[in-house]
Structure 1
Amino acid sequence: MSDAVLIAQQGAVRILTNNNPAARNAITAALYTELAAALSAAESDPGVGAIVLTGAGDFFCSGGDLKQLATRRELPVPQRREKIENLHNLIRAIRRCSKPVVAAVEGGAAGAGLSLALCCDMLVSARNALFSAAYVKVGLTPDGGATAFLAEFVSRQILTELCLTGERISGERLHALGAVNRLAEPGAALTDAIALAQQIATGPLRATARIKQLCQHAYGADLEAQMELEATLMAVSQGDDEAAEGIASFFAKRPADFVTLRGKPNGS
């Protein structure tokens, strides 16, 4: 194992840091395996309620290493596709993680770094951070789900402009467009992201995972399909020990204690 990912803990929040500051945290082969492993470890740890993903130093992620990408033309198409799937599998790992993942962006996120930021469940950005789908400037096309994530909150016209011009847009503009949950002062994105994560980190883990599933499903489902999933998950939740604790605490006028339920079989 290298030090591609630094791991820290604050309370019930696990902090995962992309550690390649000399290259503005450009994605490395080691990041694919280490970040996926770190996500899996956080997901299985009952002491973790939420995850923050950030970059070392003053930049979130500059995307793929162009020196490496330049060598891909020497490979046959199936091998190129295999390399791209390393990124896509990492995006899937973040999306499928049952625990909420909050991105903390300083400096900026470009190319695949933009995908990493947008695929997280919530995003905290410094006001002056810059985001770009800059693939077109080097003759490439977006990957990592960038067009899908952007399409969730911008019109087709804006999506096309962002991808065809590769222009950088600020954290403030992304916040106005609805993609950023919290704007932070420069240098404070990680602190603010941890604070946001701490708000949910001691909540009901199983209900939180179901809510994350619902929120992701909502953008590709019609009303009937969404209500069907809501009914299914609500029926399961009503029989969960988390609901018993939450309802009991409401009537007792005390804070709910979901943390003591973690790691115990449901129904115990």
Structure 2
Amino acid sequence: MSETTANKTVLISQEGAVRILTNSNPGARNAITPTLYAELSAALADAEQDPEVGAIVFTGAGDFFCSGGDLNLLAKRRELPMAERRQILEGLNNLIRALRDCGKPVIAAVEGGAAGAGLSMALACDMLVSARDAFFTVAYVKVGLTPDGGATAFLAEFVSRQVLTELCLTGDRMTAERLNQLGAVNRLTDKGAALAEAVALAAKVATGPQRATTRIKTLCRQAHHATLEEQLDAEAVFMVESQGDAEAAEGIGAFLGKRKADFVALRHQGHEAKDAS
């Protein structure tokens, strides 16, 4: 599919079964705005429902992933009532939820840097591919603000409370290599190659069983916070559901029949059945 019109904040393109969503505000290093919150949330919802899409890549236009909030807009919000400021921020929160809860895998492709809410959006994705020279920062403190977009929750999955506090109070940059060592970045690439690597990774998972993929995403998302008993129960529920699913019939049948499973055809059949109903 072709890209959307130039006045859109989110550009949409497709490579095979991979939908590519690009935050396009390069003049401001892809700073985020309420328009982005709405457009990206809608684009994610559309990709989730499209049977032609098996996985999603989220990136920024040009050579920088996202510089966080637009400080010119943030300065103007000082004059707004607190309730209105909260309402605007809920747009960001809803976007973070949309990235995290999308039923299809979402992979971030980071070049240059991810600052503030840009870091939050990157870590909200299921996987993260970054150029080796990119940096990540929760720099809110440098402008008298506090973290948002789930930054503290996401970072707490990878670092101790002491390190998290240092990062938030200093606003110091973290290298992509450090985040890779911590387990937050899946793959490192040369400068300019993050998008291609992310698309290749997305293509690898895009032809898998969709409902099983959604269940796996849920298990992985809650694994850091659930007890062993809760996780055992959740895994049992999903395994029982999966065993009775047409995806398992196709996958097991293909393995036993020594052929390649065709989960994409099942995805289309499910979509057609939904349309017919």
Give the TM-score of the pair, scaled to structure 2: 0.94
CA RMSD, aligned part only? 1.2
Which residue does the alignment assign to 2:24? 19
Matched, 1:33 2:47: no
Work out the CA distance in 2 between the residues paired with 1:148 and 1:29.
Answer: 22
Matched, 1:53 2:58: yes
Within the candidate set 220, 228, 251, 1:223 is matched to 228
Within the candidate set 190, 196, 216, 1:191 is matched to 196
Per-residue deviation at 1:264? 2.0
Structure 2 SS opposite 1:193? helix
Matched, 1:237 2:242: yes
Matched, 1:112 2:133: no
* Aligned residue-pair number: 267
Greater alpha carbon shift after TM alignment, 1-10 vs 112-121: 1-10
Within the candidate set 93, 114, 133, 2:98 is matched to 93
- Structure 1: segments with no counterpart, 5+ residues: none
Work out the CA distance in 2 between the residues paired with 1:253 and 1:170.
Answer: 45
Per-residue deviation at 1:232? 0.6
Per-residue deviation at 1:254? 1.7
Work out the CA distance in 1 between the residues paired with 2:19 and 2:270.
Answer: 23
Work out the CA distance in 1 between the residues paired with 2:88 and 2:35.
Answer: 13
Work out the CA distance in 1 between the residues paired with 2:259 and 2:161.
Answer: 48
Identity level (%)? 69
Point out 4+ residue stretches in structure 1 off by more than 3 angstroms.
none
Structure 2 SS opposite 1:262? helix
Structure 2 SS opposite 1:164? helix
Work out the CA distance in 2 between the residues paired with 1:255 and 1:155.
Answer: 44
What are the superposed Cα offsets for residues 169-218 of structure 1, whole Å, 9 maximum, x if unpaired?
11111101110000011000000000110110000001000000111111
Structure 2 SS opposite 1:52? strand
Give the TM-score of the pair, scaled to structure 1: 0.97
Work out the CA distance in 1 between the residues paired with 2:11 and 2:113.
Answer: 19
Which residue does the alignment assign to 1:121? 126
Report if the CA contact (8 A) 2:139-2:168 is conserved: yes
Work out the CA distance in 2 between the residues paired with 1:67 and 1:157.
Answer: 32
Per-residue deviation at 1:72? 1.6
Within the candidate set 44, 49, 52, 2:49 is matched to 44
Which residue does the alignment assign to 1:262? 267
Per-residue deviation at 1:58? 0.2
Work out the CA distance in 2 between the residues paired with 1:152 and 1:222.
Answer: 15
Aligned amino acid, residue 108 of structure 1: G
Once the two structures are superposed, the pairs formed by residues 70-219 of structure 1 within 5 Å of their partners are 70-219=75-224
Aligned amino acid, residue 167 of structure 1: D
What are the superposed Cα offsets for residues 1-26 of structure 1, whole Å, 9 maximum, x if unpaired?
84100000000000000000000000
Aligned amino acid, residue 17 of structure 2: A
Within the candidate set 251, 254, 269, 1:246 is matched to 251
Per-residue deviation at 1:263? 2.9
Aligned amino acid, residue 168 of structure 1: R
Per-residue deviation at 1:265? 3.8
